[in-house]
């Protein structure tokens, strides 16, 4: 089970958040539960969720925000497929990291961090390759929305406030 204080897994999940198009800003905008016990339980549940469990909702959100037209649907499906592939590869890496959590020495942990960095770069390249053609076909208004949604500081999609 994931422990919030585990730095390696926390880094992996943060990488996962960016890789599938979510950001901490997205989570912060959700309304909170009525009391702190419920809030803590909800927070712990969200931390245990893998990126693949969140990606379809994020895809739907982005499609709605970008106001994808029927003519843009083919290109959009390429972006959605890239996001799903990214989430799946990240899910696998996180699951492996969780399974190996207590057995890795310092060198193995650094190697695992390097692998997560490579995975993040590969995921970014996949998403960029799918997104560029879509972006080129967006209207100026849609491009402006995409510019707002692609966060400069989170290296991924962010939620508009």
Please report, for the chain, the start and end positions of each structural domain, with discontinuous segments joined by +. 7-157
Q: Which residue did the predictor score with more confidence, 8 or 142?
A: 142
pLDDT band at 58 (very low <50, low <70, confident <90, very high): very high
Asked if 20 contacts 13 with a C-beta cutoff of 8 angstroms, the reply is no
Tell me the average pLDDT across 137-141: 97
Q: Residue 156 forms beta bridges with which residues?
A: 151
pLDDT tens-digit profile of 59-94?
A: 999 999 999 999 999 999 999 999 999 999 999 999
Q: H or E stretch including 151? A: strand 150-151
Report which of residues 44 and 116 the model is more confident about.
116
Alpha-carbon distance of 15 to 94, in angstroms, equals: 10
In sequence order, the β-bridge partners of residue 157 are: 150
């Amino acid at each position: 089970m994931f422990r919030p204080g585990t730095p390696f897994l926390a880094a992996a999940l943060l990488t996962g958040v960016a890789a599938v198009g979510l950001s901490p800003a997205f989570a912060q905008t959700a309304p909170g539960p009525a009391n702190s016990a419920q809030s803590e339980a909800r927070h712990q549940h969200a931390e245990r969720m893998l990126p693949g469990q969140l990606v379809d909702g994020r895809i739907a959100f982005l499609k709605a925000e970008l106001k994808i037209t029927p003519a843009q649907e083919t290109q959009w499906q390429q972006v959605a497929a890239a996001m799903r592939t990214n989430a799946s590869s990240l899910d696998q890496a996180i699951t492996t990291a969780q399974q190996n959590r207590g057995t890795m020495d310092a060198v193995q942990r650094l190697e695992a961090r390097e692998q997560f960095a490579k995975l993040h770069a590969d995921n970014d390249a996949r998403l960029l390759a799918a997104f560029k053609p879509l972006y080129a076909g967006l209207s100026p208004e849609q491009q402006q929305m995409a510019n707002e949604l692609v966060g400069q500081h989170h290296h991924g999609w962010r939620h508009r406030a």
